[in-house]
Structure 1
């Protein structure tokens, strides 16, 4: 008897959800135009039945981790604080002249901000994905839940992909794999961000998190307990 094997092919770039800057290189007769199409439009054209996995981290902690990972020298909690303040000022200046979505996708603005503040405004990107894919095709997870209970998260993913339960041997192999992109020792020695920075960022991200939690109908995405 011939047995058919189902092969799932995935792509796992961390930037797929938000990286749409290529659109800015296309000809446009409008200053400050927003993207006419996004990465998900291309994905949907090639694979309309794709299932999308999105894993999100508390945007406040994500930004500090991003700063530590990509900045090479002269890092400090104080330097991060100043860069956050400067970035929020630039973003709010953009909002005084344009829409929220146009500012999030503004390539010139993102290049001028000292930290990548806009990447934590998940709701803007998520709503754009929903214009292309059905809600049932997208599973949104939290990195905090993945870190706290890998087995439960893996089960959710396998159920979502309809590939059946993972064997005990397969589960053990996954849970034994070393973590990727762990924080470097020198960065860990810098300690956490300043309390004032955390409070400032929490206040900035609050409306975006509230909208995201509402759309997902899940208060965990408020990140109020992290």
Structure 2
């Protein structure tokens, strides 16, 4: 009887131990989930949504028309009927009783500012089949989607708005060249692009979108507008370590010294975090009023928040996403990836010659200002950490943690 009782006690103890292990495992899982959620909502901030719809469905958005204080309602227009014998998105529209060819860009370098987008744009436009747009700033940036359609200048000063016809007119020279150039089969293979890096993350004009009227938060943003007007857009993104990106951006906009940058960074972090204690992350990053109070454009480096907005509208395969650090380290490999994505023909010798051109728009200002202060880097790395972690999770790529 003692032997049997001993066996029963051993069995009971084993079962209890297994139950204890199961409870501990569940506790650890729940704790990890809580810590992850707490990380994403640190400083009291919350997201509108913590999910990314990788297979987005079309949102039914209705034409409502625009008043004099709003941007043109693009949903009152039909998507152009793009011509199959043109590689670039082009169509015929009737003007003054005549059919005229109209074109919009084939590709967009969406972002982000101070991440070697100018250099990449130059190397793309070096290809014989790529044309610049005549009406763009430096034949590169239209600022249509992020600012000009809302009536804002580069620094968000008021100006007459640019409608969709105005956007098309910016590409009139490229359109003529596209029309006049064709292969022996009659296929028009020339393309043009828009390289406005603020399009990815500058949503501050959202209150002027007619469908957002009366709402405290946007229901329509740039991705929705572009989805309505484009059939198969090609988006290129260069992400740079957001801490380094912010310093370069500050210097470009006239920053005087690393010490001044430190004070500006402190102020920017405090303004954003104070806002996020009472509002969602999206509200604080998309707000024109908050943006005007900042001494730096710190919001542009919160990449994951904007990436989620784009992925709710477009599938992941619409985007070619790279790191600036990789582009700078191996420009030949990166340029090969870009040319393949844009379906541009090339030889390896020619690719090497273009990739080895001196870096474009490399600023000497930062050399004069000196390196960023160590304490500034710690401050900004802490601010951006949650967004970097979120981006690495969205893209399933740990390189976007920028740990090395």
Q: What TM-score does the superposition give when structure 2 sets the normalisation length?
A: 0.51
Q: Shift of the alpha carbon at 1:5?
A: 4.5
Gapped regions of structure 2 (runs ≥ 5): 1-182
1:85 equivalenced with 2:266 (yes/no): yes
- The 5 A counterparts of 1:58-77 are 58-71=241-254, 75-77=256-258
Match in the other structure for 1:114: 295
Distance 1:128 1:96 in 2: 22
* CA radius of gyration, larger in: 2
CA deviation map 1:45-66 (0-9, x unaligned)? 2213111111111000000000
Match in the other structure for 1:192: 371
Q: Give the one of 322, 346, 352 matched to 1:172.
A: 352
1:141 equivalenced with 2:326 (yes/no): no
Secondary structure of the structure 2 residue equivalent to 1:64: helix
Distance 2:301 2:294 in 1: 14
Q: Shift of the alpha carbon at 1:22?
A: 2.1
Secondary structure of the structure 2 residue equivalent to 1:21: coil
Distance 2:191 2:311 in 1: 23
Native 8 Å contact 2:251 2:366 kept in 1: yes
Q: Shift of the alpha carbon at 1:175?
A: 1.9
Secondary structure of the structure 1 residue equivalent to 2:238: strand
Q: Shift of the alpha carbon at 1:218?
A: 0.7
1:29 equivalenced with 2:252 (yes/no): no
Gapped regions of structure 1 (runs ≥ 5): none
CA deviation map 1:151-207 (0-9, x unaligned)? 11112222333445x3134313422434232122x4312211110000111111111
Distance 2:312 2:191 in 1: 24
Secondary structure of the structure 2 residue equivalent to 1:15: helix
**Between Structure 1 and Structure 2, how many residues are aligned?**
219
Distance 1:35 1:16 in 2: 16
Distance 2:218 2:361 in 1: 31
Native 8 Å contact 1:24 1:107 kept in 2: no
Native 8 Å contact 2:217 2:283 kept in 1: yes
Higher-helix-fraction structure: 1
1:160 equivalenced with 2:375 (yes/no): no
